[in-house]
């Protein structure tokens, strides 16, 4: 999946990935995609929950070598 911006949250635990995502999303334009890279397993449930609360779209999650790549599209 392609992203317009990337956010590195490797080594960070809840609430930091969510907190940083909320902040970084402010920099994106509507419709742009942010890729969040994290290794905290909690992100598998946390990110869809955050998207559901804020109205942003969770496009999907890819797992490779212990890294979770989550793609979130900014709401219009």
Partner 1 sequence: MADKEKLTLVVFSGDFDKALAAFIIATTAASMDMEVTMFFTFWGLNIVKKNEGKIKSKGILRKMLNTINRGGTKRLTLSKFNMMGAGTWMMKQLMKDIKHPTIDELITMAHDMGVKMIACTTSCGVMGLPEDSFRTEVESLAGAAYFLEEARNSKTTLFI
With CB under 8 A as the contact rule, the residue among 6, 8, 16, 44 that binds partner 1 is 16
Nearest distance, CB of residue 46 and partner 1, angstroms: 8
Q: Which is nearer to partner 1, 19 or 41 (CB)?
A: 19
**Which structure tokens are listed for 18?**
């969510």
The whole-angstrom separation of Cα 63 and Cα 67 is 6
- Among 20, 21, 14, 10, which residue's Cα sits nearest to residue 65? 10
Active site residue 58: no
Instruction: Supply the residues annotated as catalytic.
Output: 14
Q: Which residues bind partner 1 (CB under 8 A)?
A: 11-16, 18-19, 21-22, 49-50, 53-54
């Amino acid at each position: 999946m392609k992203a317009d911006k990337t956010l590195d949250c490797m080594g960070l635990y809840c609430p930091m990935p969510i907190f940083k995502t909320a902040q970084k999303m402010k920099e994106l334009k509507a419709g742009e995609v942010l890729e969040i890279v994290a290794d905290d397993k909690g992100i598998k449930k946390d990110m869809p929950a955050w998207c559901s609360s804020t109205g942003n779209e969770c496009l999907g999650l890819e797992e490779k070598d212990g890294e979770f790549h989550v793609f979130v599209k900014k709401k219009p």
